[in-house]
Amino acid sequence: MHARAALATALVAGRTSIPVLRSAPPLTLRQTGPHSVHLISTAAGPLGGDRLELDLDVAPGTTLELGSVASTLVLPGPGESRTLITARVGAGATLRFTPEPTVLAAGCAHRIEVGLTLASDARVLWREEIVFGRYGEQPGRCHARFDATLDGRPLLRQEFTVGTPALDTSPAVYGDARCVGTTLIAGPVPLAEAVVADGVAVLPLAGPATLVSALALDAVALRTRLEWGESTASRGRPAGPV
């Protein structure tokens, strides 16, 4: 299956409108508020061999919140599955991307590629969560690549690989964690120095952005840690106990 979905916002009379909302099953987009959209998966997967593309264009001065109604379960199939997400966030625009986690079922072979192109004063919160298999399950393989540029300069480049037990369990990589997650927060935040707690680090990047990086045993704990980090970044100080 090859699906290409797209979403674009426009500024109309000072307000955000969503003139482009093109679903491509299984990537079905539903507008759920004035500037919020949810992804509704209308088929299982992705399955091996699928190629799912989503393009987001957040016009200057507009706001978009994109979530999903359920986690994505990546299943095996003939060949590699791929999810490609590209997003352009214009000057003065705000994007909040908070989908539910990607769960790697046994035997899957998945690639995730995310390309984020930000204007210098764009405000973005971009969360990604990867869960290493369902309960008690050994995960398949996954290679995720994330690239964000700000005003044409590299802001954050990260890759995660899952599915090589000797590396996954390394105390330098994931240790005993079963989930990994990050939230990139671009735009002015008051946090000057890194803050660290159990399984979560809030990291001011070299560019004007902050990365929350978390590890956890399960998806619930992962979300708690990421949200704690996001709150810490926006307050500029540790947001109480995790």
Residues that bind another protein (CB under 8 A): 145-147, 153-161, 166-167, 169-175, 177, 180, 182, 193-196, 199-201, 203-207, 211, 213-215
Q: Which is nearer to another protein, 106 or 194 (CB)?
A: 194
How near is the Cβ of 117 to another protein at its closest, in Å? 12
Strands 123-131 and 94-98: parallel
Q: What is the DSSP letter of 128?
A: E
> Rounded to whole angstroms, how far apart are CA atoms 59 and 78?
38
Residue 237 beta carbon to another protein: minimum distance, rounded to whole angstroms: 14
Report the Cα 56 to chain-centroid distance in Å.
13
- Nearer to another protein by C-beta: 40 or 160? 160
Query: In the bound complex, what is the minimum distance in angstroms from residue 171's beta carbon to another protein?
Result: 4
**Phi and psi based region of residue 79 (left: phi greater than 0; alpha: psi -120 to 50; beta: remaining):** left
CB closer to another protein, 47 vs 233 = 233
Burial call 115-126: b when 16+ CB within 10 Å, e when fewer: ebbbbebbbbbb
Beta bridge partners of 115: 86, 147
CB 22 → another protein: shortest distance, Å? Answer: 28
Kindly list the distances between the CA atom of residue 159 and the CA atoms of 24, 170, 209, in Å, as whole numbers in the listed order.
Answer: 27, 16, 18
Compute the least distance from the CB of residue 213 to another protein, in Å: 5
Residue nearer to another protein on the CB measure, 134 or 153:
153
Q: Smallest distance from the beta carbon of 183 to another protein, in angstroms?
A: 12
Return the number of the residue (32 or 149) whose C-beta is nearest another protein: 149
**Residues 6 or more apart in contact with residue 196 via CB below 8 angstroms:** 202
In the complex with another protein, the residue whose CB is nearer, 13 or 206, is 206
